[in-house]
Amino acid sequence: MSSADFSQQDIFAKNNYDIRSLDDEVRADVLCGRLLKQCYLYLVETHELSAAEASRLCYGASYFLCEYLIPDRRVNLFDITAQLIRQFAGNWYIIKNMEPNLAELTGILEGVMAFYDYSCSLGLVSGQQLQEVQSSCADLAYYQGRIDSFYAIENDGYFQWNADCPLKS
């Protein structure tokens, strides 16, 4: 599937991001890429961010959406919850990266906040969801603690570390 297979309206249709099969996952990924381009334009034009800053934010959002939410969690982008962000930042990001660190994670979470602010402006997520996203993304001390405790794991300590912020509900 190419991005040419979808109309402009398709990228704003929430149900196009439902994932039940590999084809759904591919469609959601393609549409997400197009939606992120629209988010970039929104950040530049509406929020008057520099191209570099808008790119940085969209890159962070892309990592969260296209590496975690769509392929790993198989969750509709607009069914976002605080728990999904906490699982990402407090577990998934840490175990999937060679050198997890708060500076990189903070950049990703800033992108997540920017993307969901844009999504809220379109009515794709509620104000309540946006508040949950913002609150979860802002809990940097918790995520630093999770990174630090990950680096301090000894022997079979991983099991307790994982249980403190499990990926599975």
> Using CA atoms, how far apart are residues 34 and 70, in angstroms rounded to an integer?
14
pLDDT-flagged residues of the chain (< 50) = 1-3
| Predicted local distance difference test score (pLDDT) of residue 10 | 85
| Predicted local distance difference test score (pLDDT) of residue 3 | 45
| Predicted local distance difference test score (pLDDT) of residue 4 | 56
Q: How many distinct helices (H) and strands (E) make up the chain?
A: 8, 0
| Predicted local distance difference test score (pLDDT) of residue 8 | 75
**pTM, 2 dp:** 0.93
In tens, the pLDDT along 29-42 reads: 999 999 999 999 99
| Predicted local distance difference test score (pLDDT) of residue 168 | 85
User: How many Å is the Cα radius of gyration of the chain?
Assistant: 16
From the list 25, 46, 39, 33, the residue with the least C-alpha distance to 4 is 33
- Asked if 137 and 115 count as a contact pair (C-beta separation under 8 A), the reply is no
| Predicted local distance difference test score (pLDDT) of residue 145 | 98
| Predicted local distance difference test score (pLDDT) of residue 2 | 47
Q: What is the 3-state secondary structure (H, E, C) of 18-73?
A: CCCCHHHHHHHHHHHHHHHHHHHHHHHHCCCCCHHHHHHHHHHHHHHHHHHHHHHH
Amino acid letter, residue 78: F
N- to C-terminal Cα separation, the chain: 32
